[in-house]
Structure 1
Amino acid sequence: MVAELISVGTEILLGNIVNTNAAYLAEKCALLGLSLYYQNSVGDNEERMEETIRRALGRSDVVILTGGLGPTKDDLTKEVTAKVFGKKLYEDLHTKERIMDFFQKNHSGHKITENNWKQALVPEGAKVVENANGTAPGLIITGEEGTEYAGKMAILIPGPPNECIPMFDRQIAPYLGKLQPDGIYSCMVKVCSIGESRAETMVADLMDAQSNPTLAPYAKTGEVHFRVTAKAKDEKTAQELMRPLVDELLRRFGDHVYTTKEEVTLEQAVVQLLKEKKMTVTTAESCTGGLLSGRIINVPGASEVLNEAHVTYSNEAKEKILGVPHGILKAHGAVSRETAEAMARGACQATGADASIAVTGIAGPDGGTEEKPVGLVYIGCCVRGNTVVEKYQFTGNREKNREYAVARGLILLREALLHA
């Protein structure tokens, strides 16, 4: 089946909000085996919305619309979609009761305003999808035989991500899955310390020869993820189809693969490696200002391996807290290989940790020179007395340079731990 996404809301067109729903739904549609060729955004305008929906239904089997299901006058998605399908609206008593119950539980003491009952109106013949996290129900509208859009389907989902995502996961995705003759199953092979272009070159022959299963690379900050996807009658058959390809990826990338589980992040893999080796870690950060330790602390159970973390932004802090010699700072500057090494060693000595990761650099946009340009970062890693320092020259803005530095820091720590 061919699917299409329509994101409704003038706030999306104006850039007031980031359209995270579209990225989420696009990935989920791919996993369901739906072919997605178009995505659209349209404002809260009846004429343009109708035109967008009609165009989508003319070329796609399933049109998924998010947003515009609220109680206000500019929430038009349901009304316009019903018009396109030639459906009248009626008050659904069950939905009205759920709205009343939601207000009593979540807004006790607040009177329900009249416009909230607008959300209880549903198109004739539509399947109502209950919303466990809000008042606007989802709707599935199918074109009747003999009509202009016979067999075509429109799926309406509330816009707030905390309503959209659970509704799609728990109710819409299973519904769409049943319409597919075969199930779509996938697994993820996550690779670090190898760039996107090199990683893709290493699997070019596999991608050229793919049919079922398929292989798709996704570039992340400091990482490349490979999704292996198979179409099969059941999960067991799909796993059998995917296993040879996954094994080949593991053979080609070796230790650069840090997980084959989609839910595992790089920082989780690093924390797990520290636990397996019964080691502790500390951080010494300058330009990243706590982002690195924050990534580690995001992992549940990180307290087992991280006891202290330091942000030593000034030279004085580097000397006082980490014991970086004044002579090194004076001779080489804060952003140097020598300072990064001293920071990494000093962090271990100050905390008694088995390992440390230290970052010093020029994030930008100011502070760079011809000798030390913006984006120059040195990362030092000390593991049980053995210290390595890597030099990087990032080319992003301040935010991206800091993100890249954190990713490279985690990768360097992981590599050092593997060889410890």
Structure 2
Amino acid sequence: MMKQLKTEIVAVGTELLLGQISNTNAQWLSQQLALFGVNVYHHTVVGDNLQRVKAIFNQAHARSDVIIVTGGLGPTDDDLTREAFQAMSGMDIVEHAPSMDKITAFFTKRGTNMTPNNRKQARVFSGASVLENHAGMAPGMIVTHEERIWVFLPGVPREMKHLASTSVFPYLQNLTGEKQVIKSMILKFIGIGESQLEHELYDLIQNQSNPTLAPLAQESGVVIRLTARHNSETEANSLLEQTKAQVEDRLGEYLFGVDEQTIEQQIIDLLKSSGKTIAAAESLTGGMFTDKLVSVSGASAACKGSIVCYDTDVKRNVLGISEEVLVEDGTVSEVCAEQMAEKVSGLLGSSYGISFTGVAGPMSIEDQQPGTVFVSIYDHMNKRSETKGYHLHGDRNSVRHRATIKGLEFLFNYLKSTLE
């Protein structure tokens, strides 16, 4: 009885390589297979070319115990999965009568003529376990060849999921014996770099076994993926919680969320739970910060709105920034940022105001270099401001994006320190 299955998922279809559709089949299969303790080692995508598909199949056969193939089972000339596997394995292909009867009945019921190429969808490998497709035409197949298990599924996600859930997963669970659960948890951090985070957790990472820890850098911060294995889902979750507590003891000040939680969601939750509101004055970010907040369901209870004050006249005539500040300190300055945050709080009647001003690039402004950014928070109740200056790297849009992330980090930490 096979206890550990080294599994590979091969997606066939030129449309995947062209980026016309995303390979969501592989993502879904990997997520589901983890619940059965099945390890997915490789994702491969190959176009509709007989020789290339055959080469990929040979590669998969050499390195994997189970190969799940999605796509290439349709009626057209570019559906080459059967032909490629036959060329590799030498197995005979026969017409599956029940599948052919189903296809014929489909066209009869619709009152349309069946083109000859539709017979192709009923072709299966001799000796295969044929998986009846209740969601479409082409059946799936499970074939054993030279001690490798090959699973062939349609590429249409609805059909693939139906066959995988009803036939493939039970079959694989039978092979693995006792069900093993693989559970993951994503811990999200902001305000700390990947190298520093890895340094702080060095001993945990080096001594990891179950759960495992994997630091990953992302645009909006750093994440750690914890992965636990156990034959009990409850115990797997317990292992994750224990390791999370160890990580939190060391890096809790940077941890802002778990799994699907976002920093903007956390900010909205903090504001709503305390009955506070926020308004923004955005120059270089041009509304990106507010867009992040309002993407959260229920944000209207905490986000008053924003004023995009990209032009100096808008800062002067709408926000009411003083002429003295605009002339003497400039629009890209700590003083201007502070006035922007205070003015927008007053204009929109919010508990807090936050402002963004700076130079996105590519040219300098007011002798300030591209990447120079000021973010200010005004606290209406306490009548005080906090302002931070940043020197951010990257092209114009990267600077704007990073300024937005810095603003979210700044506001989140400020709210945590004053509201919790």
Normalising by structure 2, what TM-score? 0.81
What count of residue pairs does the alignment treat as equivalent?
403
Q: How big is each residue's C-alpha offset from its partner over 1:215-263, in whole Å with a ceiling of 9 and x where there is no partner?
A: 1122222322222221111111112323321111111112322223x12
Residue of structure 2 aligned with 1:289, choices 278, 286, 290: 286
Q: After superposition, where does 1:43-62 map in structure 2 within 5 Å?
A: 43-62=47-66
C-alpha separation between the residues in 2 aligned to 1:326 and 1:166? 64
8 Å contact kept, 1:193–1:222: no
Counterpart of 2:397 in structure 1 is 399
Q: Which residue of 1 aligns with 2:330?
A: 333
CA distance 1:47–1:380, change in 2 (3 Å):
same
Distance 1:344 1:70, change over 3 A: farther
Matched, 1:28 2:31: yes
Look up the match of 2:233: 235
Aligned equivalents of 1:386, 1:94: Cα separation in 2 = 78
Q: Tell me, which stretches of 5 or more residues in structure 1 are unaligned?
A: 105-109
Report the alpha carbon displacement of residue 274 of structure 1 after superposing the two structures with TM. 1.0
Unaligned runs of 5+ in 2: none
- For 2:141 and 2:372, the matched residues in 1 are separated by 53
Q: In the aligned structure 2, how far is the partner of 1:138 from the partner of 1:346?
A: 65
* Contact 1:29-1:36 at 8 Å conserved across structures: no
Aligned identity (percent) is 29
CA displacement at 1:294 relative to structure 2: 1.4
What is the SS of the residue equivalent to 2:148? coil
Contact (CA 8 Å) 2:284, 2:356: kept in 1 or not? yes
Q: Secondary structure at the residue paired with 1:210?
A: coil
Amino acid at match of 1:257: L
Of 34, 42, 46, which aligns to 1:42?
46
- Aligned mate of 2:370, from 368, 374, 378: 374
| Selected match of 2:407 from 388, 406, 409 | 409
**What is the alpha-carbon root mean square deviation over aligned residues?**
3.6
What is the identity, as a one-letter code, of the residue corresponding to 1:362?
Answer: V
Match of 2:212 in 1: 214
Q: Is the 8 A contact 2:124 2:141 kept in 1?
A: no
1:348 matched to 2:345? The reply is yes
Q: Distance in 2 between matches of 1:223 and 1:393?
A: 17
Q: Find the partner of 1:275 among 261, 266, 272.
A: 272
Change (3 A) 1:71 1:271: farther
Partners of 1:336 and 1:27 in 2: how far apart? Answer: 50
> Cα distance, 1:8 vs. partner?
3.3
Asked whether the 8 Å contact 1:321–1:350 carries over to 2, the reply is no
Q: Which amino acid aligns with 1:43?
A: G
Q: Does the 8 Å contact 2:6/2:39 carry over to 1?
A: yes
- CA distance in structure 1 between the aligned counterparts of 2:349 and 2:230, rounded to whole angstroms: 53
Give CA-to-partner distance per residue, 1:80-123, whole Å, 9 cap, x none: 3465452525462587499779x98xxxxx97984894684353
Report which stretch shifted further, 300-309 or 121-130: 121-130
**Contact 2:131-2:163 within 8 A present in 1 as well:** no
Amino acid at match of 2:149: K
Partners of 2:115 and 2:75 lie apart in 1 by 9
Cα separation, partners in 2 of 1:20 and 1:43, compared to 1, 3 Å? closer
Aligned AA (1:413): L
Determine if the alignment matches structure 1 residue 306 to structure 2 residue 303. yes
Residue from 182, 194, 197 that aligns with 1:196? 194
- Cα distance in 2 for residues equivalent to 1:361 and 1:71: 58
Residue 361 of structure 1 aligns to which amino acid in structure 2? G
Q: Distance in 2 between matches of 1:377 and 1:171?
A: 55
Check whether the contact 2:331–2:357 (CA below 8 A) recurs between aligned residues. yes
Change (3 A) 1:174 1:26: closer
**Cα shift at 1:374:** 2.6
